[in-house]
């Protein structure tokens, strides 16, 4: 399905999606917010929103999720050449 859409950037949300993209040893707490290149696509893992909400609106995971999404917006602009 990824090949049909052919995205330049993929944001994986949570541990399951991150392990699908990066392999079974990937730990979301270790790789979140980093850039990885997989099959000529940038992959940026972050926490799943449901998990981040459990930490509360100002919890550490929610703050990390917000930061990662802001970084993702910058990455998409870079890829588009803006």
| Per-position pLDDT tens, the chain of length 82 | 777 888 999 999 999 999 999 999 999 999 999 999 998 899 999 999 999 999 899 999 999 999 999 999 999 999 988 7
Looking at residue 14, its pLDDT comes to 96
Looking at residue 42, its pLDDT comes to 94
Looking at residue 5, its pLDDT comes to 84
What is the phi/psi pair of residue 48, to 5°? -70, 135
Looking at residue 58, its pLDDT comes to 93
0.85 cut: is pTM over it?
yes
What are the residues whose beta carbons fall under 8 Å from the beta carbon of 36, sequence distance 6 or more?
Answer: 21, 22, 42, 43, 44, 45
Looking at residue 2, its pLDDT comes to 78
């Amino acid at each position: 399905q990824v090949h049909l859409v052919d995205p330049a950037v993929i944001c994986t949300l949570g541990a399951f999606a991150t392990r699908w993209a990066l392999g079974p040893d990937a730990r979301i707490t270790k790789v979140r917010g980093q850039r990885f290149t997989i099959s000529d696509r940038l992959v940026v893992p972050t926490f799943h929103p449901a998990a981040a909400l459990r930490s509360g609106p100002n919890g550490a995971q929610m703050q990390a999720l917000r930061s990662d999404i802001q970084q993702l917006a910058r990455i998409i602009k870079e890829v588009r050449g803006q």
